[in-house]
Every structure is written in C-alpha cells, then in structure tokens.
Structure 1
Amino acid sequence: MDADSRLARWENRSEVPLFLASLLYLGAYAAHVLRPGLPSWAHDLLLTVVAAAWAAFLLDYLVRLRISGRRFGPRYVRDHLLDTTVLVLPLLRPLRMVRLYQVMQRRREQARLSLYGRVIAYAGLSALLLGFAGSLAVYQQERYAPGATIRTFGDSVWWTCSTLTTVGYGDVVPVTGGGRTIAVVVMFLGLALLGAVTGSFSSWLIQTFTRDDERPPAR
C-alpha cells in the first residue's frame, strides 16, 4: 500500500475525532480565559483538557510525518504549512475543516457545493474562527498589561474585527509583545481570507457574465 493510500485511511479514521478535539480545545481555552474567577481546580482541569487535545494534534502530525516517509525539515514544513501552523497555533486547528469536508465527501463520493461556494463558505467560517481565537489570545495577553487599551473581551473583539477587515481604527491597540505578535498573524490571515473571498466572488461573476454573453439572443 503506497503512502497516499495510507494517509487517506488515516484521515478517514482520525479527521472527525481530531476536529471534535479542536472544538474541545477551543472551548476549554475560552473558559480558562473568560472565567478567571473559577476555582483553581477548574482551571487545572481546563488546562489538562487543553494539553491533552494538543497532544492528540502532535500525535497526528507525527503519524503523518511517519506515513510520508520523509524527514522533518524546512521542505516538509513548507509542503505541510497548514498542518505545521495549526500545531504551533492550536487555536487555529479548526481551520483544517477543509480536510474534514474532503473526508466526508470521500465517504459520500459526491460534492454538495460548487468550488466557489466551498471557498466562500470555508473563508467565512475561517474568519469567524480566526476572529474568536484572535480575540481570546489578545485579551489574555493584554487585559492586565500596564497602559493597555484592550481591557475587556468586547474591546478585543472590536479590535479583531477592525484588524481582520483591514480597517484598523487604532482606538484600541495591543501594547505587549505577545499581543503584537498575535496581531501580525491576524493581519496576514485576514488579508489571505479577504483575498480568497474577493477572488472567488469575482471569478464567479466573470463566469456568470461570460455564460450570459455566449447565449444566443432571444428572437
């Protein structure tokens, strides 16, 4: 059995449980950040859930590396950029929902959405996820920092929305090193998602108008 077949078998078995683990990770991390008044044992439990979910992500990454038969290095990271990114930034793990969609379609052996519909739907869901994850991460870094303007989760959501949409009002900004690092990631991913949606929508319009122009005139 070749590597591609083995990888497809592994994805069919693991993608759904790992997607659920990513949602569990996100929920536990959100509760840890947004509910600081919980008992210490509750925070310990939440952090244990976070660590266990990340361990599952690491195991998946190592299994994929083993199946590929390649050595870990810059070339492997480049060829598996999304997998590496979500391992380093596990809050973004649900971005792999495109893999989940592919697994489900392999089981059904048919596509339910057009290419443009899939791109726009994926980009929209990714923007919501990125906004929520970015808001959580920035809020955790900024809320107690001296001179911070992001003091509440609402401030963080407002900042994330203005950053993702490339508006950048500048009324609230991160002041910590960690917050600014997260801001750079949000900026780049926001530009990528905006470009994907704009490009797909423009391509759909061109294709639609082209079909209309090619139709014979009505008599």
Structure 2
Amino acid sequence: MKTLTNKKPALLLMVISMFAILISSCKKDDDPAPIVYGDAKISVTNTASGSNAQDFYQGDTKLTTTAVAYTETSPYLTVKAGNSVLSFKNTGSTTNTASISVGLDTDASYTVFYYTNLAGTGLITGAGNDNIPPATGKVKVRFANFGAALNNTLNIGVTGGANLVTGLGFGNITNTYFTIDANLGLDFTVLNSGITVQIPSSNFVSGKIYTVWFDTNIATTAKFHVIQEN
C-alpha cells in the first residue's frame, strides 16, 4: 500500500497543518450562534360549555395552579418563548384534551382559548395581545366566535350604527382590535337566524382593552363573555 510519509515530510506536515487550520476556521464560521429565548406570557380561557375544568401545559410542565373552568380566564402565565407544544388536560388527568405546536415571541403576550366543536372534540386557538391602551374615552375590543351550535356566522357592530365585523366564523378571532367610544354599546347578530344580542356599554371602561367571545350550546340563542386584558 502506498503511503505518503516518506515523501517530503516537512512539506507534508505544513500542508496538513494548513488544512487543519482551514477546517477549524470554516467550522467556526458555519456554526450558528446559539439562540437565547426569553419568556412570553399567556392567559388561557375555557370556552367549552359542559367541559371539565382544564389544566394548561407547556410541554410536560403544568402552568396553571388552579384549573380553568368554563367561562374562566387565568391570570397571565409565564411561558418560555420559542417553539413548543401547548396543551389542555382535564384537571387531574394526564391525557390531552387538545394540543397545538406554536412559536412564541419573546416578551409578547397572548390569549389562548380552549373550545370544542359539535362533535365535542377539544381544540385550541389564540392570538397575540395589543398592550397599548387606547386614549381616554376610548376602548379597544376584538371578537372571537366559539358558538359551535350556531348555524351561521356573526356580524358585530355599534348599537344603532355600522358593523365593525361581518361574517365572523366559528373558531375565528378578529385579526385586529377596534377602537370605539367607551360609552357605546354593541350588537351581535347571527346571520339568517333572527338572533340579535346587545352588549351594553356598561361592560366597557375608558382606557381598557377587551376580547369579547361568543358561544352557545343550542342553535336558538347566543351568549357573550367579556375579558378585560389590562
């Protein structure tokens, strides 16, 4: 077998050394800088009528100290930013009722909802929160539809005025907050159903931010629930 050790050993050693330095240099350049993630905050809401109270997890870590019952919203929970799996479990159980893979931004805050479809399957959705308060005399409000039994989409508008939202479907959250006068009430209508429900202005306080979510367990009525976010 041919070897190279007997051919110009000094030159060979220099070439090997230079090659080792080149490899070492390339490896350092190609190695990605470590990504350091901070924290984010999440509040969780149980919108599933008739469900058990829910524990909330990030990965294998339970974050809620008190299980969240139907209509309840937890305080903000500190979670690790970056990619992870969020899940709900019936309190005291180790089996997921719903789970989702997410990417969370550092220092951001979110609201996450547990809800069920007509078949009773647990689902998760959520959205980032707007933490900038509105001007005095105004409120910010967004809307979410968790009415599985409703036969149509929702329109939401100022009482006696124009619609803010049209055609809000089941499982959806508006992708923006709407700024309105704090002394205004709202109406929501289930299309082609004859169902219209008023949300009195007393639910809103100047300078606050809200999510209003809707649900029902029968097709002939609908309910609203108000979460104050700040």
Asked whether the two chains share a fold, i.e. TM above 0.5, the reply is no
Where relative contact order (Cα < 8 A, 6+ residues apart) is larger, the structure is 1
TM-score bracket for this pair, using the shorter chain length? under 0.3
Per the normalisation by structure 1, the TM-score is 0.25
Query: 1 or 2, which has the higher helix percentage?
Result: 1
Per the normalisation by structure 2, the TM-score is 0.24
